[in-house]
Amino acid sequence: MTGERRAWARRYLNAAPSSPAYGSPEWCALPDGPEKVAAVVRAAECWIVDGELAAERLEAARVRGLWLAKRAEDEQRTRRSDQHRETWHRWPDPAIDAEVADDWLQWIGGVA
pTM of the model: 0.46
- Is residue 86, in this structure, part of any structural domain at all? yes
Q: How far apart are CA 39 and CA 16, in angstroms?
A: 8
Domain range holding 87?
A: 2-107
Q: How far apart are CA 12 and CA 10, in angstroms?
A: 5
Residue 62: per-residue pLDDT: 86
- Is residue 112, in this structure, part of any structural domain at all? no
Cis peptide before 92 (omega within 30 of 0): yes
Q: Could you give the number of structural domains in the chain?
A: 1
Residue 26: per-residue pLDDT: 92
pLDDT tens, N- to C-terminus, the chain (112 residues): 678 988 888 888 888 778 888 889 998 998 998 888 888 888 888 888 888 888 888 888 888 888 888 889 999 999 998 888 777 766 677 888 888 888 888 889 876 5
